[in-house]
């Protein structure tokens, strides 16, 4: 029968990729580690590691077991802490994509801290693809993302409305136009987020049905993108939330595109097998309560 000890040994081997190093870290003998891995492989009738001369690599079955083992060990450790009275400072690991992290995440976390002032909070901000991977590997408890979640193991629900707009420099030829046709974007230099970004994925999906994109810059920083657009290096598509200040100051201009609306929702996400602690439940409830927290959007029928 599988035990927590089996899983902890397996996870240590998966982390170190070496049975001798795993044994040293766990203060057990190498034969004990080898026997434990052998028992797991026999139990599940699957090879968990590809054994190379100096290193081990997880197989597909091994990666599946690792994802589930992380959840099981976490649940066991949390139970152990609570029963020993050591869970007085609850921990929460939150993920967010760049747009979310730059706009709505802090107000949500501020509210959480007001009701859970002792929460041990950690935050990771990255693109949707990376955040999804961290949720799958139980490196995050929950996240709010702007892109599409593809894996069925991750539960997601829309909580906050948002829209994308096209922006240019004040001296760009489009700046004085009331609107442009989608075909006029052909050949225009674009400054876009990196691959894996939800913002980029939505815009590329739209453009793929019409005309090719001329991508000149790729960047994971919204601030850097805005600076490049202000200096005339190209056009960009960003959340209306991110550019409201620059638009108000006249540092950027919104470009309306005929017949185009790029609306989306930020998604609240967590693993379907996640153990929902009181603190995590409170975070999920607070985030979900921001469903009416709208964004400034252009007129209907335009970006």
Q: In degrees rounded to 5, what are phi and psi of residue 109?
A: -70, -35
Report helix, strand or coil for 54: coil
Judged against a pLDDT cut of 70, whether residue 104 lies above it is answered with: yes
As a whole number, the mean pLDDT across the chain is 89
Yes or no: say if 202 and 264 are a contact pair by the CB < 8 Å rule.
yes
pLDDT of amino acid 182: 87
- Of the pLDDT bands very low, low, confident and very high (cuts 50, 70, 90), residue 203 is confident
H or E segment and range at residue 124: strand 120-125
The pTM is what?
0.71
Judged against a pLDDT cut of 70, whether residue 303 lies above it is answered with: no
Tens of pLDDT, residues 21-48: 999 999 899 999 999 999 999 999 999 9
- DSSP labels for 211-257? ---EEEEEES-HHHHHHHHHTTS-BEEEEHHHHHHHHHHTSSEEE-B
Q: At what angle do helices 30-44 and 4-16 cross, to 10 degrees?
A: 110
Which two three-digit tokens encode residue 261?
A: 């609306």
Cα 270 to Cα 46, 110, 133, 158, 267: the distances in Å are 28, 20, 11, 12, 10
pLDDT of amino acid 54: 84
pLDDT of amino acid 300: 40
pLDDT of amino acid 85: 57
d(CA 21, CA 125): 32
Tens of pLDDT, residues 124-173: 999 999 999 999 999 999 999 998 899 999 999 999 999 999 999 999 99
pLDDT of amino acid 293: 52
CA atoms within 13 Å, Cβ hemisphere of 150? 8
**In the block, residue with structure tokens 């949500």:** 108
Tens of pLDDT, residues 108-125: 999 999 999 989 999 999
pLDDT of amino acid 259: 81
d(CA 262, CA 10): 46
Which two three-digit tokens encode residue 279?
A: 């603190």
């Amino acid at each position: 029968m599988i035990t927590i000890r089996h899983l902890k040994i397996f996870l240590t081997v998966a982390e170190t990729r070496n049975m001798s190093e795993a044994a040293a870290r766990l203060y057990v003998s190498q034969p004990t580690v080898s026997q434990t891995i052998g028992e797991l492989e026999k139990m599940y009738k699957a090879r968990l590691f590809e054994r190379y001369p100096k290193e081990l690599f997880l197989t597909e079955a091994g990666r599946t077991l690792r994802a589930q083992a992380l959840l099981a060990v976490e649940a066991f450790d949390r139970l152990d802490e609570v029963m020993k009275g050591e869970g007085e400072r609850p921990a929460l690991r939150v993920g967010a994509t760049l747009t979310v992290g730059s706009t709505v995440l802090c107000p949500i976390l501020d509210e959480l801290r007001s009701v859970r002032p002792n929460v041990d909070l950690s935050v990771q901000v990255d693109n949707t693809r990376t955040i999804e991977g961290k949720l799958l590997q139980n490196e995050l408890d929950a996240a709010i993302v702007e892109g599409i979640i593809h894996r069925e193991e991750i539960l997601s629900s829309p909580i906050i409305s948002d829209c994308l707009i096209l922006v240019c420099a004040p001296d760009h030829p489009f700046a004085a136009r009331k609107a442009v046709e989608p075909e006029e974007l052909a050949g225009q230099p674009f400054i876009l987020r990196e691959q894996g970004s939800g913002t980029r994925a939505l815009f590329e999906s739209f453009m793929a049905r019409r005309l090719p994109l001329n991508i000149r810059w790729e960047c994971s920083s919204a601030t850097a993108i805005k600076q490049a657009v202000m200096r005339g290096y190209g056009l960009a598509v960003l959340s209306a939330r991110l550019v409201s200040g620059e638009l108000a100051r006249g540092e950027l201009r919104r470009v309306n595109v005929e017949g185009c609306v790029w609306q989306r929702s930020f998604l609240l996400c967590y693993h379907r097998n996640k153990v929902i602690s009181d603190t995590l439940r409170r975070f999920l409830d607070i985030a979900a309560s921001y469903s009416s927290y709208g964004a400034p959007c252009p007129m209907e029928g335009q970006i």
